[in-house]
Structure formats: structure tokens, C-alpha cells
Amino acid sequence: MATNIADSGTSYSSLFARRNDVFAPSIWTEILKLFQRHPEPVYFGDGSPDRSLIPLDRLREASMRAWDDAPEYLGYGDQQGYEALRHLIVERMGEIGIQADASRILVTSGSSQAIDLACRVFLEEGDAVLVEDPTFLGATELFRAYGARIVGIETDDSGMRMDSLEAALRAEPRAKFIYSIPTFQNPTGTTMPLDRRQRLIDLARQWNVAVLEDDPYVELRYAGSPVPALVSLDPNVIYLGTFSKTIAPGIRCGWSYAPAEVHRLMLANREVADISNDRVMMRTAYYAARDFLTEHVKKTLPVYANRRNTMLAALDEHMPEGVSWSRPDGGFFVWITLPEHCDATVLSEIAADNGVIYFPGKWFFPNENCHNTLRLSFSTVPESRIVEGVRRLGETIKGAPGI
Amino acid sequence: MATNIADSGTSYSSLFARRNDVFAPSIWTEILKLFQRHPEPVYFGDGSPDRSLIPLDRLREASMRAWDDAPEYLGYGDQQGYEALRHLIVERMGEIGIQADASRILVTSGSSQAIDLACRVFLEEGDAVLVEDPTFLGATELFRAYGARIVGIETDDSGMRMDSLEAALRAEPRAKFIYSIPTFQNPTGTTMPLDRRQRLIDLARQWNVAVLEDDPYVELRYAGSPVPALVSLDPNVIYLGTFSKTIAPGIRCGWSYAPAEVHRLMLANREVADISNDRVMMRTAYYAARDFLTEHVKKTLPVYANRRNTMLAALDEHMPEGVSWSRPDGGFFVWITLPEHCDATVLSEIAADNGVIYFPGKWFFPNENCHNTLRLSFSTVPESRIVEGVRRLGETIKGAPGI
């Protein structure tokens, strides 16, 4: 604030917007500390595809091909995303039963940016966002940075509970949207069945709130049958996809598919925020998706499926009584519930001493109200290490006070 | 807003945040209409480097080299930017007299994103931002989208006027920062001399407002002597740089250099907004900057210098009396002032009919309060076309009513 103070010692902190008060120290600081407790920990924290599976030579070829036309496109442009890529995204969405339209696809810097753009479109300070409790940490941090209140909706083995959702909608006059990861949810791994999805859509319509469907893992199914996306039940759903889990997170390429009026505003916000995605990498993603991505994903499925099966079998073998876990049909995560009196955050340090690192569940609860849960990711860990890590975790839990 | 409305016909528009009210139809719609008025218009609108000058083969090599280490980095990470690139940016800043520190460099998706992150750190609804009047359109659109009021500070041939700035600081209790492009300004091409820069810093300190220095054109000097950057006069200035004008805008790679507490919050906001830049392209920019960028920029300088000289000479030859223009020492833009009674927006259609397209000046005035100015960009137009375009512009102006 402009005040005549002659010499202020120059700290800008009095000028900062209140929205910045939400930023806590990064969880990565905590994780790095855990890594210092054992020489060779098994790391169950990574929410990425396994980098050793990335088809590097073919990606490099795709990138080379992208540079061929570079003189035509290296200026400003492609704010909505490279047109051929948008058409290919529509084709890929068609393969999972979503009828989309390339004119309403917006290519974004990962689906994170698509969530951010949706926030810009919908959120004012004091608005409420309804989320699965627990949910993706990055999303709730972002909602908070817009001054939104996070309303956690109770979940069970089938995802968000509809009685809880209805009660929240009744209680929240400022609810703007429901943020859901209905398929292979992060962090629980659960999938919402069709009847519940239909109910969610009906409730959203009834209470006139928007729905943001975050669907990063849908192509990574190892068991069970596909369930229709929320957006295929209601074209008003704002759908978010990404290449982060099928190609690699480092290329920062995701997308949104939104109703026309929402799309228009997300695009307007994107143009002022950072104009467009990197234009070379949009074309690299295009050639990758056109030439080999489907085949590549097919090849990775058995690898991830084996890791999931190995993890579930190891849990059966090594977990003491009183511990339960999810059995995901896809994605990267298994969600563990310890006996009520165990604190998974406290235990994480002992576990790290014993050579296994996981994400304490409380990070995923917007209100940090659940201490006895934890997330294991199997996507980047070879099978023998999964067995060893789960064994170490079992030992740790067995040794915890009161077990 | 959650209201039980049974069936709403499903429009989300009642849910949109007010900040979206600022989005007017894109100026690109206007420009595209102008292009339809003549078969071969000379286009003086482009604010990019000339794509025919882009060292494509070397960039492709840099990109190839970047993929070599890809298995190590294609996951999530590099939120602050690839470390080696940050060090190289510091070196390049050193060459223009700025002593920076890589730990406070943040690599962003173009400097647009750096401006956006600064907005997140500083702006609340109703705050004021002080800008050169006229200034970069993308910045003022963004400030408005944060609910900020734009206070245009009068400019002359030496940039922002300090008496105007002081008056505005006195009048604006909610001023948060001064946004300035002190060198080869967009759209005027003017450069602020050292004494005025020092005065700007003193005023900002005295009134405790932050300073955002946007410096995209600094390396593109064709005449005169370098003037110290604002940040080299006061390390509390938030400095923004970019490779958009030296490599290409399509690679979306810029950076900020900010005081520690500002840097920390810009990074925190960046992590939740879109995590990081594309990691392949950060390395591509690194190899480009390490191996050939300085040499490449040196090669392009005479090309741009000739285009500038050609444009200034053509203006001397073809402009009627009563028209004046800036004589930029660098950058891409010449700013034209027509006689008071001419409306450059109205004239832009006649000019387009005559085969020349420019940006009407009013787009750059936050309050659209100056009708008789226009911007010409010479960076992407070959010399013979510059002469032809300026000739067409001269004819147009001469034919305007009242000239």
C-alpha cells in the first residue's frame, strides 16, 4: 500500500495479497528428510509413470518430426492448442466412450493448469469447492489459493458418498463446483460405479453446481470393466485429461474439454496467463499420440498390473491384522488404513528408518482429519522392491505401539 | 451458487467469478478482419522475432541433446527451473550489468507467466497497478483479470514521466506495484534514461510500492549506449526476462528474478498453477543459450537495425506534415502520432484496404484515451516491404479527411 515512509527497509511483505497466506512449507521438504534416514529406501511416493518405460527413442523421433515445420509456428499462436493435436485428443476420448468436439478442447500445461483455469473461471473468495475426502493434494492447495473453502465429502470403497454430497450441497449456498477423480482416484485408487456417477450428475444439476472431472489414470486399467466418464453422462461436465501418466509428466501436456461458455473463459484466462503451451512439445505430443501412444500404453499395462498384483499379494502376506487396503482396478495407488490408534505421520519416520517411504494420508485430507491412513504408489517400483518395501512396512506397523 | 432449481437448463454463467467480466473479444478478431481487405497487405503488427532468422538446425540439435538425459528428468520436478539454465540466465544477466543469483531465478512459461505470478503475489480486487500509458496490452488485460485498477502514467520521449508517477503514488493508497518496460518499450520504442530510472526507484521506495521491470528487448540494441536496468539500481526490483525475442516465442521460456520473499511466493504459486515448464524445452533453451545464442543474437542485430533504419527513412519520406514518430534505439517498435483530429482506429480499415496493417494505439492505452496513435513493428518485415508498407500508410494518412 502506498504510504510515504521515506525509507522502509524495503520489505514487500505488507504488499502481499492475502491469498498467499495458504502456502505451507512444501511436502517435498518432509519427503527429502525421510530419504536421509536409510541408505536404500523403497520409495512408494511417486505418482508418475515409470521413467524406464518411457519410449524415449520414439519420443525423440516425434520431437525431431515436430521441428520440421518449426519455421511456420515458432511465433506466438496456438493459444487453444495445436489443432491436429486437439483432433487427436478427441479421437482418443472417443475410444473411452466420450464424444467430444475439438473446438472445445483447450491444451494446457498439464491438467494442473486446466484446474487452475477452472478456478479462474469459477472461484471468488469464500466460495466452496466440494471434493472427495481424501483427494489430490495439488488441487486442494490450488483451491485454497483462490480463497475457496474446501468441503470434504465422505468416501467409501466406491468413492464419494452421495448422501454426504447431497448434505453438503444443501448446506453450502456458495458451492461452485464438485471436483472429482472418479476413476482410480488419487490417493485411494477407488472407482465410482455408474449408478453413483449418475446420482452425482443429477445432484449437480439439481443444485446448479459445475462438475470438474479429473481423469488422468483412465487409460491405465488392469482389471474390471470400464465405467463411463461423468462427461459422457452429461456434456456440461468439465473434463480434464493429460499425457502425464501415459507419456511423461515432464512434457507438461494436458487438456480440458468444457461447455462452450466455460471453454471460452478458460481460453481467455489462458491467453492472458501464459498465452499457449510450448508449441514444439504440442507437436511432439501429437506425433507421439498419432504414431505410437496407444501401442505404448498397451505395453505398459501388464507391467503396472504385475506391480499392482505384487503389491496386493505382499500386503496380504505382510500386513498385521487390523490393517485394510483398497484393491484398485487401475491407476497407481493403493490406500492403506491402519488401526484407529496408529498415526501414519508419526510412523512415517520409523518406516523411513526401516527403509520404506510412503505419503501419510493426512496430506490428502483437506482438513487433515484422518491420521491413520497412508498412500502407496506402485507405478515406479520394480516387483522385487515392492515385496521388500511392503515387508519393511509390515515390520514397521507390527512394531508400532499398541499393535 | 447452490440453489435447488430442479432443472436449470444447465448454464453455468451464474456461477462465473466476476473477474471474467473483463474479457472483451480478442483483438485478433479485429486483425483477422483487416487481413480480409487486401490480397497482400504489409503486416506491421507482429511483435515476434523474424522466424526466418531462427537458427532452426542448431535449435533442433539443442533439442536432440536435451533428450539424451531425458530418462533422468521426465518425471515431475524442476519447479523452479532447470538449475543449469538458471545459472546460465544469471551469466547472461551479468553481461547486461545485472548481478543476479540463480537461487532467486524462476523459469516461467514466457514472461507472461511471470507477470501472472507477480499478480498472484500482490494483487487483490481494487488494488492499483501503475503503468506507462501506453503499455503492453497483455499485461493490462491480466491486471484487470485480477480485479486491479490500471493507473496510466503519462509518458514522453523518455518514457514514464516522474511528475505523473509521483502524483499517482500520492493519489493511490492502494497502489501495489509499478509495471514498467523501461528499455525499447512496447508499444512506443522509447528508453527511459538513467536519471529517470533512479527517480522511479526512489519514488517506489518512498511510497513502498513494488517495481516490476519487464525487459524482453534489452539484447536487441541497434544504436546508443546501454542504460542500467532498474534491478541493477535496486535489488528489490522484480525483473522479468525472456527468450521469446531472442530464440522464439513458441518455446515459451522466460524467467523472473525477484527478492527472496517474493521469489518464494511466486514459486509456491507456480507449483500449484502448473508445476513447471516443459522439462525438455528448458534443456533445449539451456543448450541453445550455452552454445550459440549470443552469436545468434549478434547476427540478427544488423538485420533488425537495417529494418529500423529503413522504416525511419521511409517515414521521413512518406509521412505528411503533422505526423511524428519515435526513433527507437532497439526493440521492434516505432510509435506514430497522427494529427490530433485523426482517429487511427477508423483509419486502420482504410489502411487495410490500401494494403497496410498496423495496431491502433488505443489498444495500448488502458483507458483507450488516445485515438491518434498507432504502432508499427518492423521486426518481421523485409526492407522492401517496409518501404512499400510505409508508402501505403503515407498515402492513407494523406487521404484522411482534414489532412
Contact across the interface for A6 and B110, Cβ inside 8 Å: no
Query: What is the per-residue pLDDT for B215?
Result: 98
Number of A/B CB contacts below 8 angstroms equals 298
Cell representation of residue A140: 486442494
> Is the confidence at residue A104, as pLDDT, over 50?
yes
Q: Please state, in angstroms and as integers, the Cα–Cα distance from residue A126 to each residue in A81, A150, A172, A209, following that order.
A: 32, 10, 11, 15
Query: What is the per-residue pLDDT for A10?
Result: 61
Mean pLDDT across B58-79:
93
pLDDT tens, residue by residue, B166-208: 999 999 999 999 999 999 999 999 999 999 999 999 999 999 9
Q: Where are the domains of chain A?
A: 16-53+296-399, 68-293
Mean pLDDT across A335-353:
95
Cβ neighbours of B276 in A, within 8 Å: 250, 252
Query: What is the per-residue pLDDT for B163?
Result: 98
Cell representation of residue A213: 472431472
Q: Report the residue of chain A nearest B145, measured CA to CA.
A: A269
Other residues' Cβ atoms within 10 Å of the Cβ of residue A279: 27
Test the A interface: residue of B12, B136, B172 with most A CBs within 10 Å: B12
Query: What is the per-residue pLDDT for B269?
Result: 97
Identity of the residue in A12, A64, A123 whose CB atom sits nearest the CB atom of B210: A12
> Is the confidence at residue A220, as pLDDT, over 90?
yes
Query: What is the per-residue pLDDT for A189?
Result: 97
- What residues contact residue A122 under an 8 Å CB cut-off, 6+ apart? A176, A177, A210, B12, B15, B16, B17
Judge if pTM exceeds 0.90. Answer: yes
Angle at B270 between CA B265 and CA B64, to 5 degrees: 135
Contact across the interface for A1 and B74, Cβ inside 8 Å: no
Query: What is the per-residue pLDDT for A403?
Result: 60
> Is the confidence at residue A9, as pLDDT, over 70?
no
Query: What is the per-residue pLDDT for A370?
Result: 85
Identity of the residue in A20, A75, A108 whose CB atom sits nearest the CB atom of B249: A75
Mean pLDDT across B64-74:
91
Average pLDDT, chain B: 94
Cell representation of residue A10: 524495503
> Is the confidence at residue A198, as pLDDT, over 70?
yes
Calculate what percentage of chain A has a pLDDT beyond 70: 97
Mean pLDDT across B221-238:
97
> Quick one: pLDDT band at residue A11, thresholds 50, 70, 90?
confident
Cell representation of residue B270: 507456480
Contact across the interface for B67 and A63, Cβ inside 8 Å: yes
Contact across the interface for B47 and A76, Cβ inside 8 Å: yes
CATH architecture under which domain A16-53+296-399 falls: Alpha-Beta Complex (3.90)
Mean pLDDT across A251-262:
97
For residue A14, give how far its alpha carbon lies from the nearest alpha carbon of chain B (Å).
9
Average pLDDT, chain A: 94
pLDDT tens, residue by residue, A358-387: 999 999 998 877 899 999 999 999 999 999
Query: What is the per-residue pLDDT for B278?
Result: 96
Q: Report the residue of chain B nearest A139, measured CA to CA.
A: B272
Cβ neighbours of A274 in B, within 8 Å: 108-110, 112-113, 116, 252, 274
pLDDT tens, residue by residue, A110-130: 999 999 999 999 999 999 999
Other residues' Cβ atoms within 10 Å of the Cβ of residue A119: 26
Query: Which one-letter amino acid corresponds to residue B225?
Result: S
Contact across the interface for B109 and A110, Cβ inside 8 Å: no
Query: What is the per-residue pLDDT for B4?
Result: 44
Burial status of residue A123 (CB atoms within 10 A of its CB: 0-12, 13-18, 19 or more): buried
Calculate what percentage of chain B has a pLDDT beyond 90: 90
Cβ neighbours of A248 in B, within 8 Å: 74-75
Query: What is the per-residue pLDDT for B10?
Result: 61
pLDDT tens, residue by residue, B101-146: 999 999 999 999 999 999 999 999 999 999 999 999 999 999 999 9
Q: What is the DSSP letter of B121?
A: H
Query: What is the per-residue pLDDT for A402?
Result: 63
**Distance, CA of A261 to chain centre:** 25
Query: What is the per-residue pLDDT for B8?
Result: 43
Q: Nearest Cα to B214, choosing from B59, B307, B108?
A: B108
Cβ neighbours of B167 in A, within 8 Å: none
Test the A interface: residue of B7, B27, B64, B272 with most A CBs within 10 Å: B272
Cβ neighbours of B5 in A, within 8 Å: 206-208
pLDDT tens, residue by residue, B254-297: 999 999 999 999 999 999 999 999 999 999 999 999 999 999 99
Strand order in the sheet with A373-377: A324-325, A333-337, A373-377, A359-360
Mean pLDDT across A238-247:
97
Query: What is the per-residue pLDDT for A5?
Result: 42
Residue listed under C-alpha cell 503389491: A311
Test the A interface: residue of B240, B280, B284 with most A CBs within 10 Å: B280
Cell representation of residue A88: 487427436
- A159-160 and A175-180 as β-strands: parallel, antiparallel, unpaired? unpaired
Burial status of residue B401 (CB atoms within 10 A of its CB: 0-12, 13-18, 19 or more): exposed
> Is the confidence at residue B3, as pLDDT, over 60?
no
Query: What is the per-residue pLDDT for B402?
Result: 64
> Quick one: pLDDT band at residue B1, thresholds 50, 70, 90?
very low
Contact across the interface for B3 and A173, Cβ inside 8 Å: yes
CATH 3.30.1460.30 fits B57-293, yes or no: no
Test the A interface: residue of B208, B266, B287 with most A CBs within 10 Å: B208
Cβ neighbours of B74 in A, within 8 Å: 51, 54, 248-251
> Quick one: pLDDT band at residue B72, thresholds 50, 70, 90?
confident
Calculate what percentage of chain A has a pLDDT beyond 90: 90
The CATH code for residues B16-53+296-398 is: 3.90.1150.10
pLDDT tens, residue by residue, B313-323: 999 999 999 99
Query: What is the per-residue pLDDT for B18?
Result: 92
Q: Count of alpha carbons within 13 Å of B178, Cβ hemisphere only? A: 33
CA distance B175 to B19: 19
Of 3.30.420.40, 3.40.50.1980, 3.90.100.10, 3.40.640.10, which CATH number belongs to A68-293? 3.40.640.10
Cβ neighbours of A17 in B, within 8 Å: 120-124, 127
> Is the confidence at residue A40, as pLDDT, over 90?
yes
Query: What is the per-residue pLDDT for B50?
Result: 95
